[in-house]
Amino acid sequence: MPFDALHLNILSKEFATSLTGGRIDRITTPNFYSVRFAIYSNKKTYGLLLNLTPNTAHARLTNGARDELATVSVFLTHLKKHLIGGVIDDVGVVENERILRINVKSYNEVKQLRTFTLVAEFMGKHSNLMLVNDEGKISESLKHIPLDMSSKRQVLPGLSYRLPPAQDKISPFDSRNLSELLFNYDSNTKIDLVSVLQKNLCGLAPKTIKEVIFRAFGNAEQKLPLDNRGVELVVGEFKKLEIFTVYSPCISVDTSGKCLDFYFSPYKHTGEVFDYRSTLNEAVDCYYCQCEASEKKATKSRAIEQSVKIALVKAQKRLSILLERELASQNLDEDRIMGELITANIYKIKRGDCVLECDNYYVDPPIAMKIKLDETMPPAKCADKFFRSYQKKKKSLEILVPQLEQANKEIEYLESVLHGLKVAETLDDLGEIAIEFSESGYIKDATNKKAKPTKSKIKTEKEERLAGVKRTEFNGYTILTGKNNLQNDALVRFCAPNDLWLHPQEFRGSHTIILNPKKSLPPDKVIKKAAQITAMYSKAKSGENIPVDYTYLKFVMRPRGAALGKVLYTNQKTLFVSPE
């Protein structure tokens, strides 16, 4: 991601155009590392977000989600005290540095006009946000850096603000020093030009340097040493960057339309597909909004997945214990036979005998066998001991059979929830899975009191449950695919009896419905398309020739008391397809 000094410089000019003269009306913190300013300027309210998160530090104007921390930090309180009602006087950057400066004029408690500078340093793990007063001293900062954390530079209230320690690097727009750098390499060695420039130039991202080399030579794999013409080409391209005033802001996208990166101008060396925007800020906002949505989705997915996996481990452990008990009770008939043989041959047993030798007439032909006895007990009690063991094991099996069935159903259900998490595409999909998991009793919710639904509520529920399903229009037919158990259940409950229903035959997966108002079998190519989508949202999406069953929805039934998404069906046909 090229959020370097070059891109920040262009953004600051866009910020200056929109925000200069604007009034700060509100300040909030979406999270610990971010501060959001609501600024009224040019009869419009802008949302300026300064994000100091180590991996994604950036600044942008956005109208995206306005999340706010429940707790108020000392830094936020300080910003509100000094900046609320203030007017933005100027927006600029430190040359060749990823440091944004925003000058704000505001009145203090005694109506004295003061000037504060909001300094945002976007430097990876060293990113920080500081409020500097008109005396050049740090009034407050997002992160405090005392002496024991850094001996080179301290950031504490009351200290004078100093720029980060200078690195031994040259400006990419310093033609003389850049030429000397390129000429000074030994002509007998071949060194990658991009690596040398990354090591010695300040303020530019690796992608930006690669693009400069690509524009100079037609490829980014150039080696040192360079001849005079090569040096002139490199220096000339960097000089163009400095005086460049006409931009073509864009984002790069993949085949699904997902945003991959943003650029002030297309970076041709990447070979990516570009989608153009009117301003660089629009491109930056598009990219980071998508990143934040993905991060929220990942965080929520991890939280749900952890709960599901804990429940799954408990269910599997319970199943293992039940299987052990079942295995221990499997020999119940042997105990009954032993007891009956002792009873039949009790006349042979003498006081103090440890073993009874007799014929087992329960097999054909009878075979001789030995039964171990307890010499301290009378023969009748030995037989009774075997009969009691038989009865105990018999009762255990009667209890274990439904428990084993329930444990297997629970494991199957939890695995279906995990599959739903894998195919979830939006935060709404995850929200539905969370609701389902709560309604299933795995998460206690005291406020979740069930009431008898009215007709209007049923209609609303239908619209809500079907709102998140994947919709595909193909050849005049609408194909609906559920991505979790709630959506699968909604498809079975709310679609028409003559709609066509599809499901992977041997694998866990999603339910798919072909809406069929004509009430006749849809064309083969429509059924094949729906089967391919069904296979794609199944556990076997990486395989080929996946069997997919299809039948009319009127032949699909959800058993009473079954888990969400669990159905029985008849009159099906099978189609073998590869996932789309």
Together in a domain, 497 and 400: no
Q: Among 402, 426, 450, which residue terminates a domain?
A: 450
Are residues 438 and 308 located together in one domain of the fold? yes
**Which domain-ending residue is among 450, 483, 508?**
450
Kindly state whether residues 433 and 322 are assigned to the same domain.
Answer: yes
Residue whose C-alpha is closest to residue 571's, from 560, 562, 556: 556
Structural domain containing residue 201: 175-270
Q: Are residues 313 and 393 in the same domain?
A: yes
54 within some domain = yes
Same domain, 14 and 118: yes
Residue 459 lies in a domain: yes
In a domain, 291, yes or no: no
CA–CA dist 503, 78 (Å, integer): 58
Q: Is residue 205 part of a domain?
A: yes
- Residue 510 · residue 482 · CB < 8 Å: yes
Residue where one domain finishes, among candidates 450, 482, 502:
450
If one counts the domains in the chain, the total is: 4
Whether 295 is in a domain gets the answer: no
* pLDDT tens sequence for the chain (580 residues): 568 999 999 999 999 999 999 999 999 998 899 999 999 998 999 999 999 999 899 999 998 767 777 678 899 999 999 999 999 999 999 998 999 999 999 998 888 999 999 999 999 899 999 999 999 999 999 999 999 998 889 999 999 999 998 888 999 999 999 998 888 766 556 788 999 999 999 989 999 999 999 999 988 888 888 888 989 999 999 998 888 777 899 999 988 778 999 999 999 999 999 999 999 999 999 999 988 888 888 888 898 889 899 999 999 999 999 998 888 888 888 888 989 998 998 888 887 889 988 988 888 888 898 888 888 888 899 899 999 988 998 888 888 888 998 899 889 889 888 888 888 888 888 888 888 888 777 765 534 444 444 545 555 666 777 888 889 999 999 999 998 888 888 898 889 999 999 999 888 888 999 998 888 899 999 999 999 999 998 888 888 889 999 999 999 998 887 778 889 999 999 999 988 7
- Examine the domain organization and report whether 499 and 433 are in the same domain: no
- From residue 172, alpha-carbon distances to 97, 121, 122, 244, 507 in Å are 12, 20, 19, 14, 57
Residues 312 and 363 in one domain: yes
Q: How far is CA 68 from the centre of its chain?
A: 20
Cis peptide before 378 (omega within 30 of 0): no
Helix (H, G, I), strand (E, B) or coil at 560: coil
Do 553 and 461 lie in one domain? The reply is: yes
Same domain, 318 and 437: yes
Does residue 416 fall inside a structural domain? yes
Query: Domain for residue 285, yes or no?
Result: no
Q: Is residue 431 located within the same domain as residue 458?
A: no
| 287 belongs to a structural domain | no
- Is the domain of 469 the same as that of 431? no
CATH number at residue 39: 2.30.310.10
pTM above 0.85, yes or no: no
Pair (197, 187) in one structural domain: yes
